[in-house]
């Protein structure tokens, strides 16, 4: 694969979650984490999974990533069953999970180095391109501990984008950041998603965040983890998290979320 | 500069105290030689070559045994961290043997290998291996699981996972384990050289031993100073740069 193709981006993938169930068994109890979840996600769609903690949304993300296996059902990515983690589905976690023994460029190149068919010089070019995209080209040689929380997540984003995945899976990636940094990242992620169209599955418990980013918000309930309702968000982009229309959608979804929680009393 | 001169001052005062205690004449000079006589012994021993030769012999044994110890201990430690079976067998054995003072290996080594270089090497290796095994095992077990998850999603597995993720991630533990291994190797070698008389090489431990036999206290103290200096230099030359690198990268140890 040539450098140019590498920088152009691959077509995003279609995901299909087919009747997935999962239980967690401990010696004291069995938790029904996911109950017959079925979900189709289109090529290039931005989907947010929202729900109370413990509703299984992160578990579903792990299953899509191939980091966990479902007890029943399966996940298809471009009509191929997901059996293990793969280069076309990269994950961003709540913690940046950057490797402290590598500098920023080294971290961005980690996934790239596992990709055959590229010369090291080309890998460097690709890393530079993505560091530029997330606005951190000046920090190419910085050590991980020198970065702020927001910068670390930008590096993690560049690291996930660099190997050119078709799907980006994000597990509450901004939950640990302050509000200002988060708002900056919302606009960054929208800008980047416009340029590098990926299928994105984004897990959050922040409804506004979900409405700001997603084409479709999927509401989960817990005990057992089920899909309760889906909301299309037809707002124009780029979206501002403080806009009134966005707040109206968020209010509607929050009310639905509360309604479901009242139906079944929570037990943590 | 200020730090260096303060440190120098400290050691000068130490030697001065020593000097004045000797001058006070409380103890016989046979038991407490003056700094001058220890200095004269050291200069003489350097001139006639005995000291350099002994240092060479000792350092060679130490390095050789230490490197073999690491070459055995590191893979064993990785193995115990990766397999339950190895953890219950080799891991438990390592834990037990690590608590055994390395001097205790000397009688066994003498009976097995006789008065030979192999006996020396055996004792040094036994002193090194077990603490390296345990440090490696601890290091791998303390890697944040998120590193492994992130690496897995990017397609790192098998040998790549071990060499590019697990080993570097456990580096801070590995280095402190190697330091500890070094200290144990050094101790066990000195014990071995003091107890085992062999003809193939005359190390610092032997100089110490014969210093005692000849009641040459200036030699005993002089050689002890050399041993301390070697320990210090190793730390400064071998381990400090690695630790600096780690602190730099991990952002730890900042004052």
Query: Which tokens belong to B24?
Result: 């006070």
Structure token digits, residue B223 = 């050689």
Establish if A64 touches chain B: CB-CB under 8 angstroms.
no
Residue A68 pLDDT greater than 50, yes or no: yes
Domain of residue B109, CATH code: 1.10.3720.10
d(CA A98, CA A101): 9
- Across the range A160-172, mean pLDDT stands at 92
User: Does any CB of chain A come closer than 8 Å to the CB of residue B154?
Assistant: yes
Residue B125, domain member (yes or no)? yes
CATH for A3-98+166-263, options being 3.90.850.10, 3.30.428.10, 3.40.50.300, 3.50.50.60:
3.40.50.300
* B38 located within any domain: yes
Between A232 and A262, residue with greater pLDDT: A232
What interhelical angle do B204-213 and B217-234 show, nearest 10? 160
Say which of B146, B152, B249 has its CB closest to residue A95: B146
The pLDDT score that the predictor gives to residue A266 is 47
Specify if B76 maps to a domain.
Answer: yes
Within-domain flag for B145: yes
Pairing type for strands A46-50 and A30-41 reads: unpaired
pLDDT, position B151: 92
pLDDT (0 to 100) of residue A267: 46
* Angstrom distance (rounded) from CA A116 to CA A219: 39
Per the CB < 8 Å rule, is B249 touching A144?
Answer: yes
Is position B7 within any domain? no
Cα B66 from Cα B189, distance rounded (Å): 10
Q: Which residue has the higher pLDDT, B201 or A229?
A: A229
Check residue B101 and give its pLDDT.
Answer: 86
- ipTM of the assembly? 0.85
Is B149 close to A100, i.e. CB distance below 8 A? no
Tell me which DSSP letter residue A12 carries: P
- Tell me the pLDDT band of A264, cut-offs 50, 70 and 90: low
Number of domains in chain B: 1
In a domain, B8, yes or no: no
In a domain, B117, yes or no: yes
| Residues lower than pLDDT 70 in chain B | 199, 254-255
pLDDT at A72 over 60: yes
Confidence of residue A220 (pLDDT cuts 50, 70, 90): very high
How far apart are the C-alpha atoms of B125 and B61, rounded to whole Å?
Answer: 10
Residue of A nearest to B167 (CA): A101
Nearest chain B alpha carbon to A142:
B249
**What pLDDT, in 10s, does the model give residues B32-42?**
999 999 999 99
Q: Point out the residue among A85, A101, A115 whose CB comes nearest to the CB of B153.
A: A85
User: Roughly how many angstroms between the first and final C-alpha of chain A, as a whole number?
Assistant: 49
- pTM over the 0.95 mark: no
Over residues A126-155, the mean pLDDT reads 92
Range of the domain at B43: 34-250
| pLDDT number for residue A268 | 41
Would B27 be classed as within a structural domain? no
């Amino acid at each position: 694969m040539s450098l140019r193709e590498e920088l152009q981006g691959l077509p995003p993938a279609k995901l299909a979650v087919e009747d997935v169930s999962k239980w967690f068994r401990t010696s004291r109890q069995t938790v029904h984490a996911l109950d017959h979840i079925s979900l189709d996600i289109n090529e290039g769609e931005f989907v947010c999974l929202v729900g109370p903690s413990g509703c299984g949304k992160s578990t579903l993300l792990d299953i899509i990533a191939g980091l966990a296996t479902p007890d029943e059902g399966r996940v298809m990515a471009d009509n191929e069953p997901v059996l293990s983690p793969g280069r076309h589905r990269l994950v961003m976690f709540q913690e940046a999970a950057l490797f402290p023994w590598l500098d920023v460029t080294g971290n961005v190149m980690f996934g790239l180095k596992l990709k055959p068919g590229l010369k090291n010089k080309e890998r460097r070019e690709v890393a530079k391109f993505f560091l530029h995209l997330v606005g951190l080209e000046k920090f190419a040689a910085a050590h991980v501990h020198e970065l702020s929380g927001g910068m670390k997540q930008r590096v993690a984003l560049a690291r996930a984008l660099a190997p050119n995945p078709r799907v980006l899976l994000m597990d509450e990636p901004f939950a640990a950041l302050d509000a200002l940094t988060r708002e900056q990242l919302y606009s960054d992620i929208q800008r980047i998603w416009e340029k590098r169209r990926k299928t994105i599955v984004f897990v959050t418990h922040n409804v506004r965040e979900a409405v700001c980013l997603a084409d479709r918000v999927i509401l989960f309930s817990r005990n057992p983890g089920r899909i309760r309702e889906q909301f299309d968000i037809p707002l124009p982009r780029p979206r501002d998290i403080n806009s009134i229309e966005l707040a109206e959608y968020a209010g509607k979804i929050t009310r639905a979320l509360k309604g479901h929680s009242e139906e079944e009393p929570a037990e943590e | 500069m200020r730090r260096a001169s303060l440190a120098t001052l400290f050691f000068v005062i130490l030697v001065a105290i020593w000097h004045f205690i000797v001058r006070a004449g409380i103890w016989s000079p046979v038991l407490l030689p003056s700094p001058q006589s220890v200095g004269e012994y050291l200069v003489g021993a350097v001139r006639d070559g005995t000291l350099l030769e002994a240092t060479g012999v000792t350092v060679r044994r130490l390095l050789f045994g230490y490197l073999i110890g690491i070459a055995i201990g590191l893979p064993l430690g990785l193995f115990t961290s990766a397999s339950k079976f190895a953890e219950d067998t080799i891991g438990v054995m390592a834990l037990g043997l690590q608590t055994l003072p390395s001097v205790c290996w000397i009688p066994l080594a003498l009976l097995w290998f006789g008065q030979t270089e192999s006996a020396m090497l055996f004792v040094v290796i036994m002193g090194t291996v077990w603490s390296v095994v345990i440090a490696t095992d601890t290091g791998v077990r303390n890697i944040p699981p998120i590193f492994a998850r992130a690496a897995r999603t990017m397609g790192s597995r098998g040998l790549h996972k071990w060499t590019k993720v697990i080993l570097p991630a456990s580096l801070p533990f590995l280095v402190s384990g190697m330091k500890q291994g070094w200290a144990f190797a050094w101790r066990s070698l000195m014990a071995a050289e003091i107890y085992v008389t062999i003809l193939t090489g005359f190390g610092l431990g032997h100089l110490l031993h014969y210093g005692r036999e000849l009641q040459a206290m200036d030699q005993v103290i002089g050689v002890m100073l050399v041993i301390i200096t070697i320990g210090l230099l190793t730390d400064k030359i071998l381990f400090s740069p690695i630790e600096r690198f780690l602190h730099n990268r991990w952002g730890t140890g900042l004052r």
